[in-house]
A = this chain, B = another copy of it.
């Protein structure tokens, strides 16, 4: 997923530095700053175990405004207790001093190994450099600085329909991806920047709806992180007030970032959209799609390019949702492989297996004539995932 050249968003500047948190010497601390106080909203992991930066950022967002996001990779600062909280406070304080803003206006975010204390002094020592490097075009550095196992940086930009305003999204994530952020959920981090004028309540509702339909409907490995967070900031620098187009733009940008995260699933080669339809409620369709999207037997079959529709139907059957298997229609990459709950035939499965060789395809299950449907993104799972995660800390 190569990134095309993206334009800046008015009212925001970005930077990234290598502070020595990653052993490799790559960029590992990013800074995003609004030129003035920005309207801000966030959604955070619903995991009971919540990293220090999640606790701090959520608390600070209660004000409804923010000035900066200080994000690091290489260390999640999760399961680090009071020393972890102290580290999040110290780093944001150092950054606030360098920016000459209130400490509470700086939101921390971290991703990386759990159980290791954030090396606060390394980040604080780079506060001045982070501020000096700030530029409207610095979002590419910022996106680089928050990568962990990501194969590529993740950015998406949209013009907001009917206005001169724009929305820029920057995300990271490839593993521990099964977001559950609430009140709508990976470690995934995503940051959204718009130059619209928008009320906090409007931004918050639009953000939650967008996250629920996109990040909360994707899975790489079924593991919900301690650090997931999505933060949206609005600078107002366009002079235009947000209308109903904001929701569509947020959903669009979040969808593109979620697709990029799943396509970048650790060791994966394929992205599948699981579309479940014909059920009574969206909650039921979501539960079935989610169960298929997280089934190891399904994900290894996708890795093997095996049109094993029996595993799809077996996973659907354990989702806790009632349906009549004898009415099921299943299509893989547009090829119907089961009808009336029965195999269509070997030729259909051979053609479906060809579709499974593609980088991206849809898997559709019609499970009745109910009105509700839901789509969930997932990736195949093979040797690459095992390699990344059996040796992650070494």
Binding site for B on A (CB under 8 A): 46-50, 76, 78-81, 83, 113-116, 175-176, 180, 221-226, 294-297, 300-301, 303-304, 306, 308-311, 313-319, 321-323, 325-326, 338, 340-343, 381-383, 385-386, 389-394
Whole-angstrom distance from the CB of A276 to the nearest CB of chain B? 13
Whole-angstrom distance from the CB of A80 to the nearest CB of chain B? 7
Q: Contact at A317–B47, with CB atoms within 8 Å?
A: yes
Would A314 and B223 be within 8 Å (CB), given that A49-B325, A306-B392 are in contact?
yes
Q: Contact at B223–A296, with CB atoms within 8 Å?
A: yes
Whole-angstrom distance from the CB of A78 to the nearest CB of chain B? 7
Residues from chain B with a CB closer than 8 A to the CB of A224 are 314, 317-318
Q: Contact at B223–A325, with CB atoms within 8 Å?
A: no
The secondary structure that dominates the A interface is loop
The answer for the CA separation of A185 and B383 in the assembled complex, in Å, is 28
Q: Contact at A221–B390, with CB atoms within 8 Å?
A: no
Whole-angstrom distance from the CB of A219 to the nearest CB of chain B? 10
Copies held by the complex: 2
Would A325 and B48 be within 8 Å (CB), given that A79-B310, A114-B314, A295-B223 are in contact?
yes
Q: Contact at A389–B325, with CB atoms within 8 Å?
A: no
CB nearest to A295 among chain B residues: B223
The residue in A49, A116, A175 that gathers the most chain B C-beta atoms within 10 A of its C-beta is A49
Residues from chain B with a CB closer than 8 A to the CB of A80 are 342
Q: Contact at B81–A326, with CB atoms within 8 Å?
A: yes
Q: Contact at B314–A226, with CB atoms within 8 Å?
A: yes
Q: Contact at B296–A79, with CB atoms within 8 Å?
A: no
Q: Which listed residue (B50, B314, B386) contacts A49, Cβ 8 A? A: B314
Q: Contact at A304–B114, with CB atoms within 8 Å?
A: no
Q: Could you list some 25 contacts between A and B, CB below 8 A? A: A46-B318, A48-B321, A49-B313, A49-B317, A79-B310, A79-B313, A79-B342, A80-B342, A113-B310, A221-B297, A222-B296, A223-B297, A223-B311, A224-B314, A301-B392, A303-B390, A304-B389, A304-B392, A304-B394, A306-B391, A306-B392, A306-B393, A382-B386, A383-B383, A386-B386
Known contacts A114-B314, A301-B392; 12 further A-B pairs (Cβ under 8 A) = A48-B316, A81-B342, A114-B310, A221-B297, A224-B314, A224-B317, A224-B318, A301-B389, A304-B394, A306-B393, A306-B394, A383-B383
Q: Which listed residue (B79, B226, B311, B313) contacts A343, Cβ 8 A? A: B79
The answer for the CA separation of A314 and B79 in the assembled complex, in Å, is 9
The residue in A48, A322, A342 that gathers the most chain B C-beta atoms within 10 A of its C-beta is A48
Would A49 and B301 be within 8 Å (CB), given that A295-B222, A382-B390, A386-B383 are in contact?
no
